[in-house]
Amino acid sequence: VQLVESGGGLVQAGGSLRLSCAASGRTFSSLSMGWFRQAPGKEREFVAAISWSSGRTYYSDFVKGRFTISRDNAKNTVFLQMNSLKPEDTAVYYCAAFFRLGVYSSSYYAAENEYDYWGQGTQVTVSS
């Protein structure tokens, strides 16, 4: 599975960006998809995820109400709509995926080591 992110850039605080992640190499509808981010000098952290089956979504507490993850199976793409951006959202954002046909807990989707495939990342910079 190949994942390619796009849509990052520089935005002022309070602004919005929409990240996209295009997947290839496997039936997209069978992939659970996630977004993680890594700020300079920090560990990579979970942002949001969407399941392969029901399309159920999961979010970290620090983005709830501001970010929305969605998927378009016809376009093999997952999106992360980011609104009300803050300087602390500045990071490299990574798209990730795994292929396991089950139902899992929210903590499972937030676990970086459960993901088998990763994109190269896209930089998001939020200026104050």
pLDDT exceeds 90 at position 120:
yes
Q: How many other C-beta atoms are found inside a 10 Å radius of the C-beta of residue 65?
A: 9
Mean pLDDT value of segment 67-95: 97
pLDDT exceeds 90 at position 102:
no
**Mode of pairing for the β-strands spanning 122-127 and 9-12:** parallel
Structure tokens at 33: 């998809």
Helix H segments across the chain?
Answer: 106-109
Q: What is the pLDDT of residue 118?
A: 98
Structure tokens at 114: 């459960």
Q: What is the pLDDT of residues 34-59, one digit of tens each?
A: 999 999 999 999 999 999 877 899 99
CB under 8 Å to 64, separation ≥6 — which residues? Answer: none
Structure tokens at 23: 């997947």
